[in-house]
Amino acid sequence: MQPRLFKAVGCAKLIYLFIYLLLNQMKKSVLTIIKEYAMITFGGVLNALSLFVFVNPCKLVAGGFTGLSSALTYIVHAMMPSVPYEQQMPVVYFILNVPLIVLSLIYLRGDFTFKTIWATVVCTLTLGIIPTDLQFTDSRLIAIIFGGFMLGLAMHVAAINNGSNGGTEIIAKLVNKYKPEMDISNVLLVLNIIITVAGSIIVMVVEGENIWTVAYSLMYVWIGANSMGMFSRGMDHPQKYLIVTTKPQEMAQQVIRYFHRGVTIVDMEDNNGEKDVNKMVMVVVQYRQTSTLRKIIAKVDPSAFTFVKDIHDVFSRPSFNRSYKNESK
């Protein structure tokens, strides 16, 4: 009786968490919920299309749990050749994600978990209903470009709506919650590379593919990751310029004149704690403006020491990214 009791208690806890998440979702307006879940649905469909249309037909392997499910499906298909690969893949994909979804329900809860469940279900169903006529096999190069682009867009859409497509993204969220000081990005990068290479080797052995399967698969993962970064930053992402100069006021006036941007001037000290004659001018500009700013720096103070940092986003001033024209001299 005890094992049954433990199972009943475990199921009751999961049902309670599921109801809790539903009630939490109802705090938002109906329109907001519809919009967010529409975007999550779009991301899940894109993820499935990337796999079904471009990756699987070209015998490639994606990164993360998606790639792991592809590789395991090749093994399952070798043992059960009577069942088409396209029918086995969604089942393996969903089974692999179930343990992570359960962990997310227990430890993460909240909006993220519910949307991740929905994205996983959408991707699984889409993988099962896409007609095989859409599969692309003409060129691996074209497949990794379009497939990687769609993968990056799918991850971006899920991320900006506080969701994910499951797999290693859930692991990252769990680690970030309980070990926020840990840099999980490098761990996930190594994990994705290991899964991609190992999965490609499985494809080479089971399907008789050549060594280029590894190279194309890794390139697909790289394009996907960089596409996500491009969508997140935008094509005209902001950059922070830190200019150490003896002419801070003149530098600031020129920057304000040309860019209509606020400028911060910071006093500096040398290594002996004495006030330095130089001051640091800090300004945030868009990427397309950097060539003009470099010319201003070279004109005002050619000996200025300047270093640049990429910025993910500027969110406190909505007007920052609006187009404008530089004033003429």
Domain ranges of the chain: 2-233, 238-321
Predicted pLDDT of residue 1:
47
3-state secondary structure of 271: coil
Residue whose token pair is 């830190």? 242
Q: Which residue type sits at 70? A: S
pTM score = 0.72
Q: Which two tokens stand for residue 321?
A: 């990214």
Second-level CATH architecture of 238-321: 2-Layer Sandwich (3.30)
Task: Determine the pLDDT at residue 54.
Answer: 94
The SS3 call for residue 248 is helix
Q: What's the burial of 306, exposed, middle or buried (CB within 10 Å: 0-12/13-18/19+)?
A: middle
Q: Are 127 and 87 in contact (CB under 8 A)?
A: no
- Tell me how long the chain is: 329
Contacts of 124-127 with CB under 8 Å at 24 or more apart are: 124/48, 124/90, 124/93, 124/94, 125/90, 126/44, 126/45, 126/48, 126/49, 126/52, 127/48, 127/51, 127/52, 127/86, 127/89, 127/90, 127/93
User: Which two tokens mark 150?
Assistant: 């769609």
- 10-residue mean pLDDT profile of the chain (329 residues): values are 51 61 61 88 94 92 88 91 90 91 82 88 92 89 93 90 84 78 70 88 90 93 86 75 91 87 84 80 86 90 89 63 45
What does the pLDDT read at residue 63? 83
Listed in sequence order, the residues at least 6 apart from 186 whose beta carbon sits closer than 8 Å to its beta carbon are none
How far is Cα 41 from Cα 104, in angstroms, rounded to an integer? 19
| 119 within 8 A of 159, measured Cβ to Cβ | no
Calpha distance 198→312 (Å, rounded) = 33
